Amino acid sequence: MNALVATNRNFKLAARLLGLDSKLERSLLIPFREIKVECTIPKDDGTLASFVGFRVQHDNARGPMKGGIRYHPEVDPDEVNALAQLMTWKTAVANIPYGGAKGGIGCSPGDLSISELERLTRVFTQKIHDLIGIHTDVPAPDMGTGPQTMAWILDEYSKFHGYSPAVVTGKPIDLGGSLGRDAATGRGVLFATEALLNEYGKSIHGQRFVIQGFGNVGSWAAQLISENGGKIVAVSDITGAIKNSKGIDIPRLLNHVKENKGVRGFSGGDPIDPKSILVEDCDVLIPAALGGVINRENANEIKAKFIIEAANHPTDPEADEILSKKGVVILPDIYANSGGVTVSYFEWVQNIQGFMWDEEKVNNELKTYMTKGFKDVKEMCKAHNCDLRMGAFTLGVNRVARATVLRGWEA
């Protein structure tokens, strides 16, 4: 099931639980604006190349729209729509004053030189500079983009509007990026996992974890969980998968990954088939890679008691039903991986104030938001007698619906 169908389905179930009227429900789903622009650049060899850039701005009832910009060859409009909508609910669940957006450029960043990527980013910014802004729409990095991309957008935007560090987040520290942003999603996963396990009288210490995906989120989550006494028994990435039932030495693995560009060949564990990573024996499973990896084919085989969705949309609705019948507790993505956007919000706040925080303050504030977020989700679960995914969706949708009605926007 694709991301848009699944997101719409969750939204409709939440709207029904909340008893929203059909007009309001319909207006909450329709994006505020969809932008599509042609970006033509001279390549290094002098030939011209054209790319399509786009931005879906979903909702701004609670504040400026917020969401990533991805550079990827298969940018599917449906998926971008789903991700923009998901950002609307995610920012509402985190209780930060934003709406949702998403965008990007259909290109293969690996096939372009640094100077071609810079030209492409600047042309894209020229085309959309009057449609984004500190109080309108604040982009961030996503697949295929990073701090350097944000620096180019900031510079190009500032040519039109004056120096505006708050127009993007995920910037380099030297241009107003926030300390703690790099680890934020992974650290949020740690705080979310702690909150969930506490609910069941457990702690991270001594629990066995399996992590699928060892990019930014997976590697930070692994490092922080192992520092807190969790035992990581299996890890995978695109190069391969490894397992060690006594617990993987994470600092050693991080060094290996840095040197070898992947987990494959790590001597501190036995190689296993990456496809089997999700069904390894463990207490807590953390999918931190792609969407749709837990589906009806493998859901019955999953041995974990808890699943923490660090990736976007890793669990298909069919798998959701199978797992809930088995009594597996799933902490949904729109809460579990919201640490990144929460620290992006802190970055924006620091830029607007012109006053930067130290890393300890960033991490403490993140913990406060994640802990409060879990309490809010649990309250919705009790009020509507539903699971954590519906608890999070009803919480997010309800906050956006209330803001929409209070502003007098309902149809």
User: In this structure, are 124 and 212 located in the same domain?
Assistant: no
Helix (H, G, I), strand (E, B) or coil at 328: coil
**Number of structural domains found in the chain:** 2
275 is catalytic: no
Helix (H, G, I), strand (E, B) or coil at 359: helix
pLDDT for 3 equals 75
Annotated binding residue 344: yes
User: In this structure, are 194 and 327 located in the same domain?
Assistant: yes
Domain boundary among 333, 348, 380: 333
pLDDT for 19 equals 95
User: In this structure, are 100 and 194 located in the same domain?
Assistant: no
pLDDT for 18 equals 95
Q: 148: domain CATH number?
A: 3.40.50.10860
Mean per-residue pLDDT for 159-167?
Answer: 97
User: In this structure, are 191 and 310 located in the same domain?
Assistant: yes
Mean per-residue pLDDT for 253-273?
Answer: 92
User: Mean pLDDT lowest for which of 2-11, 186-195, 381-390, 395-404?
Assistant: 2-11
- Whether the CB-CB separation of 298 and 223 falls below 8 Å is answered with no
Query: Is residue 173 in a domain?
Result: no
User: In this structure, are 91 and 161 located in the same domain?
Assistant: yes
Model confidence over 125-146: pLDDT tens digits? Answer: 999 999 999 999 999 998 889 9
User: In this structure, are 114 and 192 located in the same domain?
Assistant: no
pLDDT for 85 equals 93
Question: How far apart, in Å, are the Cα atoms of 345 and each of 91, 140, 171, 335?
Answer: 10, 11, 12, 15
For residue 183, pLDDT over 80 is answered with yes
Query: Is residue 96 in a domain?
Result: yes
pLDDT for 5 equals 83
For residue 2, pLDDT over 90 is answered with no
Query: Is residue 127 in a domain?
Result: yes
Mean per-residue pLDDT for 303-320?
Answer: 93
Query: Is residue 118 in a domain?
Result: yes
Query: Is residue 295 in a domain?
Result: yes
Domain boundary among 112, 139, 165: 165
Model confidence over 49-103: pLDDT tens digits? Answer: 999 999 999 999 999 999 999 998 887 788 888 889 999 999 999 999 999 999 9
CA–CA gap between residue 117 and residue 105 (Å, rounded) = 11
CA–CA gap between residue 81 and residue 103 (Å, rounded) = 9
- Report pTM: 0.93
pLDDT for 411 equals 62
Query: Is residue 116 in a domain?
Result: yes
What are 197's two structure tokens?
């396990």
DSSP 178-222: PTTSTTHHHHHHHHHHHHHHHHTT--STT-EEEEE--SHHHHHHH
Percent of the residues in the chain that have a pLDDT greater than 90, as a whole number? 88
28-42 as b/e: b if 16+ CB within 10 A = bbebbeebebebebe
Mean per-residue pLDDT for 216-225?
Answer: 95
| Nearest Cα to Cα of residue 187 among 370, 388, 374 | 370
Query: Is residue 376 in a domain?
Result: no
CA–CA gap between residue 249 and residue 398 (Å, rounded) = 43
User: In this structure, are 284 and 194 located in the same domain?
Assistant: yes
Annotated binding residue 351: no
Annotated binding residue 337: no
User: In this structure, are 189 and 306 located in the same domain?
Assistant: yes
- When pLDDT is cut at 50, 70 and 90, the band that residue 374 belongs to is very high
Query: Is residue 246 in a domain?
Result: yes
User: In this structure, are 40 and 141 located in the same domain?
Assistant: yes
Annotated binding residue 203: no
User: In this structure, are 135 and 187 located in the same domain?
Assistant: no
What are 106's two structure tokens?
């259909």
CA–CA gap between residue 129 and residue 123 (Å, rounded) = 10
For residue 380, pLDDT over 90 is answered with yes
Mean per-residue pLDDT for 314-326?
Answer: 92
Q: Which domain holds residue 232?
A: 183-333
pLDDT for 6 equals 83
Residue with tokens 């259909």, as numbered in its chain? 106
User: In this structure, are 202 and 157 located in the same domain?
Assistant: no
Please, is 160 exposed, middle or buried when counting C-beta atoms within 10 Å of its C-beta (0-12, 13-18, 19+)? exposed
Residue in 23, 43, 102, 258 annotated catalytic: 102
Q: Under 8 Å CB-to-CB from 324, ≥6 apart: which residues?
A: 330, 387
User: In this structure, are 204 and 293 located in the same domain?
Assistant: yes
Annotated binding residue 178: no
